Amino acid sequence: MHKLISFAPDYIRYIIKGGIKFYAWMGFLAILSAFSLYGFYLQNTEGLIVTGITSQIHDGLYFANLVFLVGVAAGAVTIVFPAYIHHHKAMHEVTVLGEMLAMTAVIMVMLFVFSHMGRPERLWHMIPYLGIYNFPNSMLAWDVLVLNVYLLLNLVCGFYFLYVKYSGGKINKNFFMPLVYISIVWALSIHTVTAFLISTLPARPMWFHSMMPIRFILTAFAAGPCLIILVFLIIRKNTKMWIQDDAINLLSLIITWCLGMALFLTMSEIVVELYARTEHANGLYYLMFGLHGLTKLVPWFWGSLIAMLTAFAMLLIPGIRTNYKLLPIACVLGFGGIWVEKGMGLVVPGFIPTPIGEVTEYYPSMVEVMMSIGNWGIGFLILTVLLKGAIGILLGEVKYGGSKAEKSNDVASGGKAAAYEAR
């Protein structure tokens, strides 16, 4: 029991220690987080009139980020699956870092849900038995359920693993492994249900097709690993922890396959919808070429497509895929391209034209941009805290009974030497 009680204080003490670079980064994220608070204040004093959301287009930048981040959360399974199903050694060493990313992404999803609500005090209706949860009839209720269970699974698996490492014990596989297997399946469920949330609306032809869940899963398994690779490369450069090349190379290969298949499905949709264009293709036509002189989203679509095609072309070349100076460029292009394709390039054109034929445009207001930047700032703040604590435990710098400075210095030196040996 004493080990369990000392775990949190030791974890927190390690997190708050750092150099100038660490405190500057955390201060920068804190400033960004303040944007979200100010935007939330404006929305709740003046109403959603301060946003670009209208009666015709009631889901905008917030919902676009929500849909994308669900995919990022699901993308963490690209680490867990190879580690525990295929026993990939390099992946197994960093599995807990992927779980930290999954937790952060789900928390960010909830932040964007909260931002999108005009009446946040009604959020209690999402609590079963207390509010009007409307389960199982509401697809939104299903989405809330799978996201919260996925957060809980990653929370239990991640911190149980870290606690065992901290206390020097052994993993109870009878308890731990079933949760891992459930989390793998559940990762697929969260983005599938999110896809069902919009693809089950017959009045929105842009979304109303059975290919939507498949596209969601493929883009999730491309965007998630893109962010994970970027995080891993930052960790290798700024901490004593050395993440093996095999782990990064496998993730880049997963991105290549999934991004390629996602692009194929996008091209297929374009051919099917526009070959014999009907009124049901107007949403896609507006996205690609504009409609009735309205073209605000056209640059978003073509920019996204060019970014994804460029990333895919780069990743197809093994020399670039294993070059850790060029690989981040491909990951940024892929991540940004999918963000637009899954967000602004999917959510907004689904409302144009409306079911009664109205054609109106949406563009995010400065308040929406501020809140979105702020929510991302809060997300990276949480991710930094979770990753820093996890890395400390994995390196042995945070352990039960190991708080003396001499022990920490010895472990740190040993971890650094092991890192350079791995190189």
pLDDT in tens, 205-252: 888 888 889 999 999 999 999 999 999 999 999 888 889 999 999 999
Say if residue 162's pLDDT is above 70: yes
Say if residue 422's pLDDT is above 50: no
Looking at residue 368, its pLDDT comes to 93
Mean pLDDT of the 91-113 span: 92
Classify domain 43-217+231-422 by CATH architecture.
Answer: Up-down Bundle (1.20)
Looking at residue 251, its pLDDT comes to 95
Looking at residue 1, its pLDDT comes to 65
Which residues have C-beta within 8 Å of that of residue 27, sequence separation ≥ 6? none
What is the Cα–Cα distance from 311 to 305, expressed in whole angstroms?
10
Task: Report residue 386's pLDDT band, with 50, 70 and 90 as the boundaries.
Answer: very high
Considering only CA atoms, which of 194, 106, 191 is closest in space to residue 153?
A: 106
Looking at residue 260, its pLDDT comes to 95
Looking at residue 186, its pLDDT comes to 92
What is the pTM (predicted TM-score) of this model? 0.89
Say if residue 108's pLDDT is above 90: yes
The rounded mean pLDDT for the chain is 87
pLDDT digits (tens, 9 = 90+) for 50-85: 998 888 888 889 999 999 999 999 998 999 999 999
Task: Report residue 402's pLDDT band, with 50, 70 and 90 as the boundaries.
Answer: low
- Counting every residue, how long is the chain? 423
3-state secondary structure of 378: helix
- Least reliable range by pLDDT among 122-126, 271-275, 319-323: 122-126
Looking at residue 366, its pLDDT comes to 93
Percent of the chain topping pLDDT 70: 95
Torsion sign across C-alpha atoms 101, 102, 105, 111: negative
User: Do the beta carbons of residue 222 and residue 77 sit within 8 Å?
Assistant: no
Tokens representing 244?
């093996």
**Alpha carbon separation from 262 to 27, 194, 220, 309, 315 (Å, rounded):** 37, 17, 10, 11, 14
Query: Residue 403 has what DSSP assignment?
Result: -
